[in-house]
Structure 1
Amino acid sequence: MIVNLALMLTLLLVIGFAAQWLAWRVKLPAILFLLLAGILLGPVSGLVEPDKLLGKWLFPAVSLAVALILFEGSMTLRFHELRGIGRAVRGLVSYGAVAALLMLAAAAHWIAGLEWQIAFLFGALGCVTGPTVIVPMLRTLRPDAKIANTLRWEGIVIDPLGALFAVLVFEAIVSREQGHSIGVFAATVGSGVVIGVIGAIVLAFLLRRHLIPEYLQNFGTMAAVLGAFAVSNAITHESGLLAVTIMGIVIGNRRDVHIDHIMDFKEDLSTLLVSLLFVILAARLHWPLPDGMLLGGALVFLAAQFVVRPVSAWLATLGSTLNWRQRALIAWVAPRGIVAAAVSALFALRLEELRVPGAEALVPLVFSLIIGTVIVQSATSRQLARWLRVAEPEPDGVLVFGADPVARAVAASLKAADFRVLVVDDDWEGVRAARMQGLETFFGSPTSQHADHHMDLTGIGRLLAMSTRRELNSLAVVHYRQEFGRERVYRLRNLAPEERHDRRNFAGNLLAPALFGENMTHGRFAEMMSEGWRIKSTKLTETFDWPHFVEQYGSESVLLFGIGERGALRVASSKRELDPKPGWTVIVLVPPPRQETEAVA
């Protein structure tokens, strides 16, 4: 039995990884492939039976996994960011979410026949989107900046708020089913809030005073979260999820605690837990579904897609700066994600133990909503955006990895040519200098999951890996080659050809065209700039073409970019030598004037 259990868990781990990889490959939310894999393994083939596989450990394991997922999600809610997200987003995550909850509850009650208490729980779970489903969809949808920012911020903010909302509804149902009074419910909520706040304060104190060594901080944080969950449940039954949610919100808003490395660890851990959890939970679905659930789930999805989301989004965006076309697309796009699936499955397990009528229908209904919204919206949103004329044209913006003087100079030249440029680096001093130059920036690693969720790549279609760290440049090239295409990622070399050795070269699949030519390196570029070379942009004409430019500025000038008559950006590289034509705008690294050079000599 131990061998079988170990083999099955390993198989689930491999399948979860394969689903995540496939989602990355085709740029669709991973939750779709995880749920489909679980359905194939469970109800369809019968290969996996989670209740027999895990037995009495199923509920505790799912509870702990959901606690960690909620903590990681709630840490991303920063109150200071709420002030700058605009009226439309505030409406979508407040009264728009309440309107969606009420309408979804009504649909679940009158269409699917759920009792009102389960219907309200379904409404609380069904009104939540999230960055894990929104961000991959935006990459293929490519709407204009206002729509992309609105949908992205809605997913980020409503993810933890929706979890908190659902937990409160669940606590109310459990208190009612166990015959508890309103005072007991208030005590449950109060216990969760108090334990969460105390746990966050204690953890922040330990981290701020460096009483936990850095290499143990991730381990210590996970232990603290699970400890708060267990203690809160021991004091007041079913209050643990609320405690970890509050704990994450408090920790995430403490400015005196550095949590970036903890966030990275929790993101990786959440990816692992989500991959295992969703396959297991989907495998628990029973086939055939409860009476009326197949048709009821389809009808509830149609109501959510064609009535609930349009009405709530239209109401939430009244008075905003969005036009009717932008509001129409926002009213169509609202895929459901991780919180809805994970929390609904955990709640269903507990409610089935309490024999709450209709609890067995909660998970099929939520999963029907998730699968329906992801499939339908992924297949139709791009065409709808084009029809509404709110889709971005072919992405011609540039992602510049690196914030040193060389990268900033190149980024500034592209911005001056009216391209969208995003400078990203985990070097704070360089990012701050880029901001002072008026460049759009993102602080963090461009290959992290945090960047996947929060970095706005709308209109970005190329990568220039220009940091001083050779290995990270290669990692960025590999990461964004699937995103932008093999021919649209470039790397500025850190070593000259004569300095490179076979043992130090990367494998061929990590290579990208050498930016600005085979012999240009980061060190040489920086040295030239220190000697007075400058980046110059010039429009070529019939009377002043490229040979005239070279004659005036010198044959040693380095052509960096060419911009065609229709505004298409062309990048000079080892695989593409540009031949500028009249009508082009050229961006060139030119030497200082001769008299200046002589004075320096």
Structure 2
Amino acid sequence: MTLDLGLLLVCILGVGFLAQWLAWRVRLPAILFLLPAGILMGPVVGVLAPDRLLGPLLFPVVSLAVALILFEGSLTLRFSELREIGRAVRGLVTYGAVIAVFLLGVAAHYLAGLSWEVALLFGALTCVTGPTVIAPMLRTVRPNARIANTLRWEGIVIDPLGALFAVLVYEAIVSRHQGHTIGVFLAVVASGVLVGLLAAWTLAFLLRRQMIPEYLRNYGTLVAVLLAFTVSNAITHESGLLAVTIMGIALGNMRGVHIDDILDFKENLTTLLVSTLFILLAARLSWPLPDGVLWSGIVIFLVAQLVVRPVTAVLASIGSALSWRERALIAWIAPRGIVAAAVSALFALKLEALGMPGARQLVPLVFILIIGTVVVQSATARPLARWLNVAEPDPNGVLIYGSDQAARVVARALVDAGFHVVVADEHWDGIRQARMEGLPTFFGFPASSYAERHLDLTGVGRLLAMSNNRERNALSCVYYRQEFGRGKVYRLTNDDAQATDGRVQLGGDLAAPALFEAGMTHERFLERLADGWRIKSTRLTATFDWPNFIEQYGSPTVLLFGVEEKGALRVASEKRELEPRPGWTVIALVPPEAAP
């Protein structure tokens, strides 16, 4: 079965998008859907043959894509974060990773028959757990804060470090196989490091001095990364991957270089590349797999899951504050992801070209381990967390940005209704008053880089932007829309003009649903509180329903929230009028003459 080339390329992009969308919808890692999609399109159905489709372009395309993936991953590593992470994370990403490489290499050598060189490369590739697989799994598992932070930081830190380690192992193998001396290997490493540092310094110099216009920064960075990769390879063969990894680490740690837009662009580009790359690489697999590969891969997965990860987790957490229950869950969760799949496929292509024995087994073994860890851990981690009593409840908590009287009375009403609330603000006076009232607080702007590291959002699933700063409210909504979802962020309109005048209304992605009712503004809310209005919480019944509530407290009553019988919070907004039912608890702002 053959398809037109253009139609086939569009199908690859479309299938990749559907896999990513499905992963987002069911909150599972996208790899779980991308790899089977590639196998289905390739060896099973036969519509996709990457070697025939791309021909001599296959190797350069894969190489450049992997270079961009490694650069994006290494760009997120901050040396300052290495000092801030706990003892357990430091153990997992240092000597724990070395132990994992050795044990996985031993398993691959004795169980799959790989040479020691390829087996150690397998270990270096599969010791990595990345944030792209950890993040969706944590959203599903919802462990407590210490477990979530440990696993999240492990994925963030070990992703670029593991890639760097795998590249070094690969360079050593190639140098030895080609009869190169240790001097040649050191020259490869030195070339990659120097080219990477020079490229990072040059790009940073241009960015700091505004020599690249804003709209060309992403384009220029893309060109710089690919140029560093190809120039380094031209100077010293096979040093390009090391160069882009060093370039990303260096650029991400330079002061005065604003890389947020670049990082966003690279993340979007990486999503596209990963989706396309995984489908192409999975389509190259022989199916059914060669004799012995499937069973040896399954046994290696069992060893990795039941022996390697528990051993490394226990040794790495010695002396930490983690309980045995927390260590047990950490010892179970270690899904492999993007770096392992993408880099292993590239290395396999290169090693096959060199005639290295066992190179063809590398990719299927890595893919079996990826699929095994993602499937098994996604299916079992949540029940295990509950059994160990280390799982957090559903994210029904609320983050309130703002700490003036309006924000505090709303926070108090939600706390009294049994919800976890965090009041966040960069103004100390309001935060101090909130603390005096016994409210949980965070001193700082909730969309800041400081908040990324220190604001604990465990159990929190909504944002109410209620500060008196319109622009910061909008920024908070845009920021937390990615974290909580578009339907879970709200803002309190700041002035009457903003609510009615189209010339000053926020538009596009800046406009989150307005809280409570049409015309309700921050100033009006404060005025009503000053006039004696109070918040009233009442459980509705069949004999005292919402119309009875309105009749008792008056038609000016403003419904703020509804709490369903099962405890789910419903937020009243201008675009979503609530219809409280018997059994709900309503939280409303009632006039002073009606308040008891």
TM-score interval (norm. to shorter) = 0.7 to 0.9
CA distance in 2: counterparts of 1:118 and 1:229, whole angstroms = 24
Q: What's the secondary structure of 2:84's corresponding residue?
A: coil
Q: What's the secondary structure of 1:439's corresponding residue?
A: strand
Q: 1:85 touches 1:153 (CA, 8 Å); kept in 2?
A: yes
For residue 575 of structure 1, report the CA deviation from its aligned partner.
3.2
Give the 3 Å change call, closer, same or farther, for CA 410–203 of structure 1 in structure 2.
farther
CA distance in 1: counterparts of 2:453 and 2:119, whole angstroms = 30
Give the 3 Å change call, closer, same or farther, for CA 415–194 of structure 1 in structure 2.
farther
CA distance in 1: counterparts of 2:341 and 2:454, whole angstroms = 22
CA distance in 2: counterparts of 1:9 and 1:74, whole angstroms = 29
For residue 462 of structure 1, report the CA deviation from its aligned partner.
3.2
> 5 Å matches for 1:390-539?
390-400=390-400, 409=408, 413=412, 419-421=419-421, 438-439=441-442, 444=447, 457-464=457-464, 468=470, 492=492, 499=500, 515-516=515-516, 518-521=517-520, 524-529=521-526, 533=530
For residue 527 of structure 1, report the CA deviation from its aligned partner.
4.5
Q: What is the letter of the counterpart of residue 88 of structure 1?
A: A
The answer to whether structure 1 residue 238 and structure 2 residue 238 are counterparts is yes
CA distance in 2: counterparts of 1:528 and 1:408, whole angstroms = 10
Other-structure match for 2:331 = 331
CA deviations over 1:115-173 (Å, ceiling 9, x no partner)? 00000000001110011000101111011111111111111111000000100000000
Q: Provide the aligned C-alpha RMSD in A.
A: 4.4
Other-structure match for 1:201 = 201
For residue 405 of structure 1, report the CA deviation from its aligned partner.
6.5
Q: What is the letter of the counterpart of residue 92 of structure 1?
A: L
Q: What's the secondary structure of 1:147's corresponding residue?
A: helix
For residue 62 of structure 1, report the CA deviation from its aligned partner.
0.5
Other-structure match for 2:104 = 104
Q: 2:442 touches 2:455 (CA, 8 Å); kept in 1?
A: no
Q: What's the secondary structure of 1:123's corresponding residue?
A: helix
Q: What is the letter of the counterpart of residue 104 of structure 1?
A: L
CA distance in 2: counterparts of 1:160 and 1:535, whole angstroms = 55
For residue 5 of structure 1, report the CA deviation from its aligned partner.
2.5
Other-structure match for 1:58 = 58
CA deviations over 1:78-111 (Å, ceiling 9, x no partner)? 1111222111111111111111111100100011
Other-structure match for 1:596 = none
CA distance in 2: counterparts of 1:344 and 1:354, whole angstroms = 15
Give the 3 Å change call, closer, same or farther, for CA 460–475 of structure 1 in structure 2.
same
* Count of matched residue pairs: 567
For residue 290 of structure 1, report the CA deviation from its aligned partner.
2.6
Other-structure match for 2:189 = 189
CA distance in 2: counterparts of 1:146 and 1:562, whole angstroms = 31
CA distance in 2: counterparts of 1:434 and 1:332, whole angstroms = 43
CA distance in 1: counterparts of 2:40 and 2:422, whole angstroms = 42
CA distance in 2: counterparts of 1:413 and 1:536, whole angstroms = 12
Kindly, what percent of the aligned residue pairs are identical? 62
Give the 3 Å change call, closer, same or farther, for CA 498–209 of structure 1 in structure 2.
closer
TM-score relative to the length of structure 1: 0.82
Q: 1:188 touches 1:236 (CA, 8 Å); kept in 2?
A: yes
Give the 3 Å change call, closer, same or farther, for CA 101–567 of structure 1 in structure 2.
same
Q: 1:15 touches 1:37 (CA, 8 Å); kept in 2?
A: yes
Q: What is the letter of the counterpart of residue 14 of structure 1?
A: G
CA distance in 2: counterparts of 1:535 and 1:394, whole angstroms = 32
CA distance in 2: counterparts of 1:52 and 1:558, whole angstroms = 66
Q: 1:132 touches 1:453 (CA, 8 Å); kept in 2?
A: no
Q: 2:385 touches 2:391 (CA, 8 Å); kept in 1?
A: yes
CA distance in 2: counterparts of 1:162 and 1:297, whole angstroms = 21
Q: 1:421 touches 1:440 (CA, 8 Å); kept in 2?
A: no
CA distance in 1: counterparts of 2:406 and 2:111, whole angstroms = 58
Q: What's the secondary structure of 1:395's corresponding residue?
A: coil
Other-structure match for 2:150 = 150
TM-score relative to the length of structure 2: 0.83
Q: What is the letter of the counterpart of residue 252 of structure 1?
A: G
Q: Which moved more, 1:465-474 or 1:315-324?
A: 465-474
Q: What is the letter of the counterpart of residue 529 of structure 1?
A: L
Q: 1:572 touches 1:578 (CA, 8 Å); kept in 2?
A: no
Give the 3 Å change call, closer, same or farther, for CA 153–202 of structure 1 in structure 2.
same
Q: What's the secondary structure of 2:143's corresponding residue?
A: coil
CA distance in 2: counterparts of 1:455 and 1:368, whole angstroms = 37
CA deviations over 1:274-296 (Å, ceiling 9, x no partner)? 11100000000012323310110
Other-structure match for 1:594 = none
Other-structure match for 2:578 = 576
CA distance in 2: counterparts of 1:234 and 1:240, whole angstroms = 8
The answer to whether structure 1 residue 306 and structure 2 residue 310 are counterparts is no
Give the 3 Å change call, closer, same or farther, for CA 256–410 of structure 1 in structure 2.
farther
CA deviations over 1:455-492 (Å, ceiling 9, x no partner)? 965312334466847998997898678x69x7x66565
The answer to whether structure 1 residue 282 and structure 2 residue 279 are counterparts is no
For residue 206 of structure 1, report the CA deviation from its aligned partner.
0.2
Q: What's the secondary structure of 2:398's corresponding residue?
A: strand
Q: What is the letter of the counterpart of residue 578 of structure 2?
A: R
Q: 1:12 touches 1:276 (CA, 8 Å); kept in 2?
A: yes
Q: What's the secondary structure of 1:53's corresponding residue?
A: helix
Other-structure match for 2:376 = 376
CA distance in 1: counterparts of 2:406 and 2:356, whole angstroms = 61
Give the 3 Å change call, closer, same or farther, for CA 377–431 of structure 1 in structure 2.
farther
Q: What is the letter of the counterpart of residue 442 of structure 2?
A: L
> 5 Å matches for 1:260-271?
260-271=260-271
Q: What's the secondary structure of 1:291's corresponding residue?
A: coil
CA distance in 1: counterparts of 2:159 and 2:103, whole angstroms = 19
